[in-house]
Structures are given as structure tokens and as C-alpha cells.
Amino acid sequence: MEVRIIPAHRTAARQDAVAARSLRVAAYCRVSTLLEEQEGSYEAQVSHYRSYIESQPGWELAGIYADEGISGTGTRKREEFNRMIDDCRKGEIDMILTKSISRFARNTLDCLQYIRQLKEKRIAIYFEKENINTLDAKGEILITIMASLAQQESQSISENVRMGIQYQFQQGKVRVNHCRFLGYTKDDRGNLVIVPEQAEVVRRIYREFLDGKSLRRIAMGLQADGIRTGSGGQRWYDSSIRSILRNEKYMGDALLQKTYTVDFLTKKKRANYGELPRYYVENNHEPILSREIFQRAQGELQRRAHVREENGSAGQHSCKYALSGRLVCSHCGSSYRRMKARDDRHSTFWRCKQHLQQADSCGGRPVPEAEAQAAVLLALERLSTRKDAYRIQREQILTGPYKTNSLELEQVFLQLARLQEKLARGSGLTDEERAQIEAEVEKNRRQRIRITEQRARLAYRELVLRQLLEYYDLCTDSSPRQNILRYDEERILPLLKQVRVMDEGYLVQFQIGPVFTITLDELSSSPALQ
């Protein structure tokens, strides 16, 4: 048997086409930050490749693709890189020049994925620093090794940045993205300063929320008035209002490390629920709101959340009136809804939501609004016998435990800062010493949380006591002889906790004090119903 070898050769047409066409060469440049010292590097890369490609015989410039200020750990935000890959797929590029593997990609998976895709199309990538051509036989092995090193370098940089940020947190240095922070901007020294126009929007949100408006109604009002969000957008959402209401920075404090980066490659962030330490800095900057207003808003958020938890979707309402969400049916536990009588538009009454949805499922009685309000006033009149005791209690809170807690909390913060500094700088610590310090840090954290929560409870109780006493004083001043309490939606709303509707009357409970039983017989002789 005879085997004859037929040598490989290109057809004449193929040879003519290749000879007639120049090698289309593109270049990719990238710098990962916009710092001034890297601006020169960016311009230098673009200028170098343009002149280099144009000076080579048989080469044709297919384009300069350059991403500025973009990280190389991913490709999603690298617009120029993605445009270059698309042009390669269209057959418009034969070779890509780039400075190094780390400039091309710091993610090993991305690097190899794109190299193989382009290799299948016989498109070479040449890395100058490593002197690697991806179409060479040994190229992929070297590329895999070098790309892994580039990824490791990126991980090391990410870890160093994270440690640097955490050390700043330990020193109480606040990092805030003020570009999306409604109410504040930064001065030349990086300190938070108030933007008066935006601060008034923040105060409006808190004021309307505490006046009883729902998050949706607040958002709709801001949008209708053409007020822009912190990021400059025109659309307001419930979540945006809730975030503003929960942001402690508006009372001058700052909770640091609320979130953390899960993976340095994906840059995915996750809320920090205790996986990493958090740092609380008091009186860091000028507040927009008083602590009293902020604490009152937190109490109202908790109250509304409790109503939703008890009543499900039926508990989501506007809270426009003091009785909204607080008037509760004793039969089924649902909230009552305010309604107008069909035959008399001046007559207002409340009806159990469960009964409205399915009459046979609940026997809760309809409640005239005047009757329910009279029950609240009668309960407030009974509570007024404790006024003197409440004045003393408020003074004791201000001069006693609240002041003591402030000093105790300051000591805890100082001790915690010293311990965290030891951990941050203690590279020579033994495992036993590090474990002991970490245990002390955890003990101090728990103590700080305990004191902070106790301070919040005291501050809220003092606020309710002051509002209650101011209400009594206002009623006394307006009618000094009769001393008659009058129903004031705005002042009663923060005082009232729940009014449970019974067949024979009401159970009225305020934020402080006992539960009062008000019978229908007592109400029949009440001056408020006369």
C-alpha cells in the first residue's frame, strides 16, 4: 500500500485576498481610577498605540478602545471593551494590542473566556508586558497563570482598601456618598454641611409623616410639587421616604458599615446584620432634625409596622386621623375604617374592615366618630390626675438616667476605639491575645447596644410625657375656668396607642399610663356628646 502526501496550500484567490488586505489592528487601554496621576497614563497609552500601529507596514488601525476610571474585575460597565468585542465578532479586527493582562481583565474567568472566543475566530491578543501572543501554542498556559496572578493582585488591593475603610470607621471618620444624600453636601475638608433647600424637604417629610400621612401620600405630594430626590430624579417611591425616615444622619449621628461587599469580583453588596462590626458616631455633624423628632418618627414607624403585622394588607392605610389604625375591633382584631353616612354627608362613623368585606364574618358594631372621640377625651381626663407625677418623672429622666447614660456611653465608645485600634495595628499579637481583645470588643459592643437602646426608650418616653403635658397645658390655657379638654387630631395622634371597640364601650390605651374602660353609659352623659 502506498500513501501519497498532498501538501497544504492556499488557493490563488485566497492568497490574493490576504495579500491585498492589511492586518487590522486595534488597541485596548484602561486605567482603573480617575486620579490625576493616572490621567497621564491613560493619555500616554492611547497616544502610544495610535502612533505604533500607524507606523507598522502592513498594519491598518482598526480603532483605539479606551475605558477610563473603570475597574477590571468585571466587564459589565466597560463600554469600550464590550464595543471592541462586538467589533471582533463582526469580523472588523484581526489583532488586539494591550499593555498587560491586568489591563485586559483582572478576573481570570473573564480573561480566559474572551481569549478563547477570539481565538476561535483566529483573532490574536498581544500582551506587551508579558510578551504573549494568544495564538501561540504556549500562550494559554502562560495566560492562565498571569491572569490568576492579576486576579490575586486585585483581591489584595480590595482587601487593603477594605481594611483602610474599616480603620477609618474605627477612628469615627464618616464616609458618605453626598451626591445622593438629600439635605447634605460636603465642604472642601470633606465635612457634611447642610443644604438649606433640601433640608426643608427633609423636615417636610418628617412633619407630614408625624401628622399622619402615609409614605405613598408623602411621595405623591413631593412628586406633584416637582421636588427632586437626593439623586436628582423626579420620581419618589415609598422606599425612598422610608429610607429618609430611618436615616440617623439627619439627627447628627452616623452608623458606619451598614453594608459590606460580599465578593470583590461581582462587587455585590449585602446589608450588615452583624456579620461585620458596625460603628456608631454621635454628634458627627450638624443635624437637620432634633433627636426628639427623629425618635418620634421611629416610634411611629414601629406602630404602623405593628398594625400591618396584626391586620395584614388591611392595616395599610393613610393614618390621616388619630383613630386611623388605632381603632380596633374586639371581635376580629381588624382596624376600623372611617366613612361618611350616605343619607347624611355631615355624619361620620367608623366600621370594622372585616365586616365591610364580609358582613357575616364579624359582628363589630358601627362607631360614630363623635362617640369614639368622646371616649378618648374621657380617658385623657382620667389620665390627667397623674399630671404632677408625670412632670416629676420627666425631670428625673432628663437629670438622672439619660444624663448618666450619656457619660457611660462616651466611656464605652472610648474603650471600644482603643480595643479596635489594638486589633488594627496589632500584627504581632498572639492568637490568644487577639481572641481576648476580640472578646472585650464584643462585650463593649453589647454594652453600647444596651445603653443606646435604653437611651432611645428614655428619649421616647420623655418626648411622650412632654407632648402629653403640653396638651394639658394648652387646654388649660385656652379655657382656664372650665378646664375642658378638646379633641385635637395633631396633638392626640402621638399620644394614643389603641382604642378597642367593645359591645358595651371602649378600652382606651395611651403610649403611657394604664388602660381605661369607658362604657357607653358614661359617654351618654359626656359633655363632648352634648
Please tell me whether residues 402 and 508 are part of one structural domain: yes
Has residue 422 got a pLDDT over 50?
yes
Give the pLDDT confidence of 26-35 residue by residue, as tens digits.
Answer: 999 877 654 4
- Clarify whether residues 494 and 400 are in a common domain: yes
Beta carbons of 96 and 132 less than 8 angstroms apart: no
Alpha-carbon dihedral angle through residues 477, 483, 485, 486, given to the nearest 10 degrees: -60
> For residues 327 and 364, what is the distance between their CA atoms, to the nearest angstrom?
12
The shares of helix, strand and coil residues in the chain, as percent rounded to the nearest 5, are: 55, 15, 30
Confidence of residue 38 (pLDDT cuts 50, 70, 90): very low
Domain boundary among 277, 311, 345: 311
The C-alpha cell at 439 is: 472578646
How far is it, in rounded angstroms, from Cα 159 to Cα 35?
20
In-domain check, residue 163: no
Say if residue 84 is in the same domain as residue 37.
yes
Work out the pLDDT band at 72, boundaries 50, 70, 90: very low
Has residue 5 been placed in a domain? Answer: no
pLDDT computed for residue 18 by the predictor? 44
Digit-coded pLDDT (tens) for 3-14: 777 776 554 444
Collapse the DSSP code of 340 into the 3-class scheme (helix H, G, I; strand E, B; otherwise coil) and give the result. Answer: strand
What confidence category does residue 150 fall into, taking pLDDT thresholds of 50, 70 and 90?
low
| Helix residue ranges, H only, 12-138 | 12-20, 36-55, 79-89, 101-104, 108-120
**pLDDT of 486 higher than 60:** yes
Using 50, 70 and 90 to split pLDDT, how confident is the model at 330?
Answer: very high
d(CA 132, CA 125): 8
439: CB partners within 8 A, 6+ apart: none
Residues 165-221: tens digit of each pLDDT? 555 555 556 666 667 789 888 877 777 888 889 999 999 999 888 877 789 889 999
User: Averaging pLDDT over each range in 29-33, 112-116, 409-413, 468-472, which range is the top one?
Assistant: 468-472
In a domain, 171, yes or no: no
352 and 280 in a common domain: no
Q: Domain range for residue 252?
A: 178-311
Residues 67 and 194 in one domain: no
Q: What is the mean pLDDT of residues 476-490?
A: 70
What CATH number has the domain bearing residue 221?
Answer: 3.90.1750.20
Please give the helix or strand (H or E) that residue 34 lies within, else none.
none
- Please tell me whether residues 303 and 328 are part of one structural domain: no
The pTM (predicted TM-score) of the whole model is 0.50
* pLDDT, averaged across the chain: 78
Can you give the pLDDT at residue 434?
A: 79
Do 210 and 347 lie in one domain? The reply is: no
Q: Are residues 327 and 298 in the same domain?
A: no
Say whether both 337 and 260 belong to one domain. Answer: no
Residue 529 lies in a domain: no
Pairing between strand 23-31 and 327-329?
A: unpaired
Confidence at 505, pLDDT banded by 50, 70, 90: very high
Better pLDDT: 511 or 299: 511
Regarding whether 433 and 368 lie in a shared domain, the answer is yes
Does 165 map to a domain?
Answer: no
Would you state the torsion angle of the CA atoms of residues 296, 297, 299, 304, taken in this order, to the nearest 10 degrees?
A: 140
Query: If pLDDT is split at 50, 70 and 90, which confidence band does 322 have?
Result: confident
- Kindly report, residue by residue over 117-142, the tens digit of the pLDDT: 888 888 988 988 878 888 876 666 76
Same domain, 96 and 215: no
DSSP assignment, residue 366? P
In the chain, the number of structural domains is 3
- The percentage of the chain sitting over the pLDDT mark of 90, rounded to a whole number, equals 20
Angle among Cα 325, 327, 328 to the nearest 5 degrees reads 95
> Is the pLDDT at 528 greater than 70, yes or no?
no
401-425 and 387-399 are packed helices; what angle lies between their axes, rounded to 10 degrees?
30
Residue 301 domain-assigned (yes or no):
yes
Give the residues across from 29 on adjacent strands. 66
| Contacting residues for 368 by C-beta, under 8 A, at least 6 apart | 347, 348, 349, 350
Could you say which of 276, 294, 311 is where a domain stops? Answer: 311
Position 357 in a domain: yes
- At 365 the pLDDT is 92
Does residue 174 contact residue 189 with C-beta atoms inside 8 Å? no
Instruction: Assess whether 350 and 488 both reside in one domain.
Output: yes
Give residue-wise pLDDT tens across range 428-466.
778 788 788 878 877 877 777 777 677 767 777 887 888
Q: 189 CB contacts (<8 Å, ≥6 apart)?
A: none
Distance between CA atoms of 159 and 344, rounded to whole angstroms?
A: 70
Most confident of 150-159, 161-170, 286-295: 286-295
Q: Beta-carbon neighbour count of residue 25 at 10 Å?
A: 23
Residue percentage of the chain with pLDDT more than 70: 70
